């Protein structure tokens, strides 16, 4: 299960992720992280059987947690199947199918945003959760 974690600046001083890994035994994979002096935003992949407890523990520590059921928004009506996303994606999220149409394997996505910047038709956006922003770049 993919989670978006937002750490406010006052939580930067402790290794919360390491503590939660030790407490739950969950193998938490960091897919993407942005950290500066003011805030941190991290996308992690957590085993489904440990996800509920991991979410509880992050929330108890004051971390904002969003479950990412959808990772990327693909507007197929804008897509011209040029393959810019296929060629640039570091995780192989996009591929051409037998008819040379772009196909998407969303589970591989780490929300790096590289495809969004590469798409000339602006057919791609990052998804942050229901009621959250959808981010288009470029």
- Which tens digits make up the pLDDT trace of 29-85? 998 888 888 888 898 999 999 999 999 999 999 999 998 888 888 999 999 999 999
Render pLDDT for 102-122 as a digit per residue (tens, 0 to 9). Answer: 999 988 888 888 999 999 999
CATH of 72-135, one of 2.60.40.10, 3.30.70.20, 3.30.390.10, 3.90.650.10: 3.30.70.20
Q: What percent of the chain has pLDDT over 70?
A: 91
**Fold designation for 2-67:** Alpha-Beta Plaits (3.30.70)
Does 2-67 match 72-135 in CATH topology? yes
pLDDT score at 32: 85
Residue 60: its pLDDT value, please? 94
Residue 31 and residue 110 in contact, taking contact as beta carbons nearer than 8 Å: yes
Number of Cβ within 10 Å of residue 108's Cβ equals: 13
Contacts of 43 (CB under 8 A, 6+ apart): 2, 3, 4, 5, 30, 31, 32, 33, 68, 110, 111
Extents of the domains making up the chain: 2-67, 72-135
């Amino acid at each position: 299960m993919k989670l978006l974690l937002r750490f406010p600046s006052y939580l930067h001083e402790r290794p919360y992720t390491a503590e939660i890994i030790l407490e739950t035994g969950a193998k938490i994979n960091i897919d993407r992280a942005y950290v500066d002096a003011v805030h941190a935003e991290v996308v992690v992949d957590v085993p489904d059987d440990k996800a509920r407890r991991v979410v509880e523990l992050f929330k108890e520590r004051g971390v904002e947690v969003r479950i990412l059921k959808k990772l990327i928004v693909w507007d197929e009506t804008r897509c011209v199947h040029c393959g810019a996303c296929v060629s640039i994606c570091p995780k192989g999220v996009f591929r051409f199918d037998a008819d040379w149409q772009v196909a998407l394997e969303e589970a591989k996505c780490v929300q790096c945003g590289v495809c969004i910047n590469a798409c000339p038709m602006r057919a791609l956006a990052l998804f942050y959760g229901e009621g959250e922003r959808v981010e288009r770049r470029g």
